Amino acid sequence: MSTQQRIGLKALAIGTTFLAPMGVALADVSLPPVTIGAGLRTSFTETHIDDSAKSNSSDFSLDSARIYINGTVTDNIKFMFDTEYSEANKNVNVIDAAAMFSLSDHVNIWAGRFLPPSDRANLYGPYYASNWGSFADGVQDGYPFVAAGRDNGVMYWGQFGIMKVSFGAFGDPGLPKGSSDVLWAGRAQLDFWDPETGYYLNGSYYGEKDILAVGVAAQNAVGKNACSADFLLDKKLGNAGVVTVESEYAKYDGLGGYPPPGGATAAQSHGWYLLGAYLLPQPIGIGKVQFLGKYGETNYRLAFSEIREPTTELDINYLIKGFNARVTLFFINQDYDHVVPGMRQVGVGLQVQM
């Protein structure tokens, strides 16, 4: 045995002698459980503009990439921290950062940045929407939020049998920094069939639950208002597949709302949509096929006129693992009462979550 080998063996023995007790001590340390997840939405889209002066386009897009971190502090205290990158803003933003205190089904307090009480579509977001082009029709998720439908504030929510209620106070992004005014938000929902446990919602449960739910939400800041009413029927038909019907009406009266086409400023907007989908019962290959259609219409009230914006979407979803792995062939058509040229999109989208 060489001198170098003898020195190495001696060093290994000394290290083992000192580190063994430390290993026992480290084994006794109980670290809080932490889960890490990620989500990705990417697509290829062919866009056609009804204007000969504007060229059509074909684009590959990284629509969204998210990292989810969730941890348990105690049996009653949890923490979430989520980030998102999208090509729309070219930055990585903190979308969720909240402490969640769960004392019982009736008493839950959240503080930090998260989704405030609002319409169902905002509470499921693009990753849990049935259709690919979520929020494309000017109806849902039009509140003045800080990032991706989120706002900074504090909220209470609780479950009471078939009723779920939530309300809270948040900073209004439209107000000057340091203003004493806040945005008040509240929501109430009735679940007539299976309950939707937890605060966040889904656009469909793909047969895992039978849902018949009605919800209303309202927000107010400095005398300006926004309100909505939403409906979801999601029913498994035995061995005949799953049918989904979703609808919403939203009105933005000085608070939030999407900008109308043409660059004008709307004093008020209101709109509605109706979505229907059918999931085939038998797998095809490694997934199931869902056919989906959606029609939405938004009306923008300007100073001396109104603009109507109808939007039609047709999807074929290939569901490999529900919302965690799906491929969508989509078609979206938008018109703007000839105020600006209409637009049609055909594309393929991929969504993966873990």
Closest residue by Cα to residue 40 from 126, 122, 130, 141: 126
Provide the pLDDT for residue 257: 86
Closest residue by Cα to residue 206 from 348, 294, 328, 324: 324
Provide the pLDDT for residue 337: 76
Judge whether residue 81 has pLDDT over 90: yes
**194, burial (CB in 10 Å: exposed 0-12, middle 13-18, buried 19+):** middle
Q: What is the pLDDT of residues 39-74, one digit of tens each?
A: 999 999 999 988 766 678 899 999 999 999 999 999
Give the CA angle between residues 25, 28, 34 to the nearest 5°. Answer: 120
Tokens matching residue 263: 């660059």
Tokens matching residue 283: 């797998």
Judge whether residue 112 has pLDDT over 60: yes
Q: Count other C-beta atoms under 10 Å from residue 254's C-beta.
A: 15
Provide the pLDDT for residue 72: 95
Provide the pLDDT for residue 24: 45
Provide the pLDDT for residue 151: 92
Judge whether residue 13 has pLDDT over 50: no
Q: What is the pLDDT of residues 242-266, one digit of tens each?
A: 999 999 999 999 888 888 877 667 7
Judge whether residue 76 has pLDDT over 50: yes
Q: What is the pLDDT of residues 24-34, one digit of tens each?
A: 444 555 667 89
Average pLDDT over residues 228-233: 98
Average pLDDT over residues 77-104: 93
